[in-house]
Homo-oligomer: A and B are copies of this chain.
């Protein structure tokens, strides 16, 4: 344990010095599900926390094939050229199932990876479902602790993980692309609504005009749906990640969006709301896990869930049955 604590101190120091290898090691630690690693990871995050929170956190989300990696490669270099440092974290929930890692591959952001002031973290492979947000939150904190002033979270369009990603960042950029015919790739309801900025990619070659038309259509559509009373309209931009056109303009829009949120006080609110959600989510998960670890609970729960799903036991009664039976047992 004394050794482990020295490890945490060393990791924290290495992080503070901005050592990318130490940052990679630290992220591996927060991704681990081993209980002893979890404890160290929490100490490390706690040690880093006073230095964290100062970065601009951006999510880039979109369906496979819309050009997220190409965009981040170009956007990252633009940001670095402007004097910032950038850490890219890829979140791919599908890799939890396959154990593979298709996103965040360094070779897909090769030009950004070649710059000194960048850090690219491939998607974590494996891990528990629902742990994505926690690990990503902790990884963002570590990147900030390592001195990165821009953190980009790349997520692939699979519903829940994107909604989670939106709560982790300051600006959620939804990247879409003109598809075959009138279709738009990546415009899924439920995801559009959390977007702070919509970017239409592939505004190049023969698709350029269609991308511009799509941007107008999206803008009109979003205009119908008020986010909240007095909320500003969601900016919709077009760009070509491939030709690197519109990329500086996207960054300007991102910065303006954060600036406006800061001016309204919405930025600080969003951050503290996320911390609270993080805490509550963790607490709920921990309590449920501990409770499920009690003898027999898992089996009984599974049995009752089957009965409830089939409609043969009322949900409220199932809860009472489960809780009452447990009260008769040693914890």
Contacts and interface: CB of A to CB of B under 8 A. Distances in A.
Contact of A315 (B184, B282, B315): B282
A134 interface: yes
A323 B39 CA distance: 13
A289 to B, nearest CB: 10
A192 B287 CA distance: 34
A45 B323 contact: no
Given A279-B304, A287-B291, A305-B279, A226 B46 contact: no
B226 A315 contact: no
Given A220-B221, A225-B221, A313-B46, A322 B272 contact: no
B287 A323 contact: yes
Given A279-B305, A282-B319, A287-B287, 11 more contacts: A41-B316, A45-B316, A45-B317, A188-B227, A193-B193, A221-B221, A221-B222, A276-B309, A279-B315, A282-B318, A283-B318
A310 interface: yes
Nearest to A225: B189
Given A184-B224, A311-B49, A311-B272, A279 B138 contact: no
A218 interface: yes
B275 A187 contact: no
A323 B42 CA distance: 14
Assign chain A's interface to a size class. 35 or more
Contacts of A188: 225-228
A315 B141 CA distance: 12
A314 B226 contact: no
A148 B42 CA distance: 55
B187 A322 contact: no
Interface of A: 38-39, 41-43, 45-46, 49, 53, 134, 137-138, 141, 184, 187-190, 192-193, 217-218, 220-222, 224-228, 271-272, 275-276, 278-280, 282-284, 286-288, 290-291, 304-305, 308-320, 322-323, 331
Contacts of A192: 189, 225
A9 to B, nearest CB: 16
B226 A217 contact: no
A38 to B, nearest CB: 8
A290 B280 CA distance: 16
